Amino acid sequence: MRRLTVILSAIALVFAYASGPMAADTGKKAKSAVEGMSDDELITTARGAAPAHISDNAAIIAPGKDGKLRTLKEGTNEFTCLPDLSGQEVPDPICGDRAATQWITSMINKEPRPANIEPGIAYMARGGWHWEKDGQVVMDPSTAGAERMKEPPHWMVFWPIAPEASALPDAPSSFGAYVMYPDSPYSHLMIYQDPMQIPRR
């Protein structure tokens, strides 16, 4: 239970972040698609981020009308699912494990490097958003001239990966995988593969 409480507290920062710079687009704040959803709709949307054998047993949280996070469903595994990450007009739910939550929290807190000491896994089966400038993905959505880009369904490995060592691209391409934020301690692997189509052992 204590571990779940830590995860929920950390994820709260994600929503605080999403309501600010991550919702930026050409200087305007987008209206989140999950505003006004019922609890059942929020749960269904959140579960859409990952395969059922993960999301059905994950904790699910969402902001209430007062903006404070509330638990919609207790979890029995180490995953936490949210119905929306970026606060855009199309929801981008995410399910992440404990290490992924540590990574996200470190990034939001602007720590020099992620706190996770093991690779974290997160799923975004409905895709997501990132921001680009001059063909390169930028970490700060409020970067002048940055344009919002829609991502396809994907999953992520939150662990440092160097493009020069892995020979992987450092920008989205038809290859299907790339290293995001390659020149940062927050470099991680993006895999454009629908999590719902990943075979289960």
Angle at 139 between CA 189 and CA 46, to 5 degrees: 65
Interatomic CA distance for residues 106 and 21, integer angstroms: 16
Q: What pLDDT shows up at residue 50?
A: 97
Where b means 16+ CB within 10 Å and e means fewer, 124-155 reads bbbbbbbbbeeeebbeebeeeebebeebebbb
CA-wise closest residue to 116 among 108, 127, 105: 105
**Least confident window among 3-7, 116-120, 133-137, 190-194:** 3-7
Cβ-based neighbour number of residue 76 at 10 Å: 11
pLDDT at 30: 60
Express each pLDDT in 141-152 by its tens digit: 889 999 999 999
The predicted pLDDT at position 29 comes to 53
CA atoms of 104 and 11, how far apart (whole Å): 8
> Could you read off the pLDDT of 11-61 as tens digits, one per residue?
544 444 444 434 444 444 567 788 889 999 999 999 999 999 999 999 998
Tell me the whole-structure pTM to 2 decimals.
Answer: 0.82
Q: What are 74-122's pLDDT values in tens digits?
A: 999 999 898 988 888 899 999 999 999 888 778 777 899 999 999 999 9
Six-digit token string for 62? 């969402």
Q: Is the pLDDT of residue 183 over 60?
A: yes
Could you tell me the residue range of the domain that residue 138 belongs to? 2-197
> pLDDT-based confidence at 72, cuts 50/70/90?
very high
Number of domains, the chain: 1
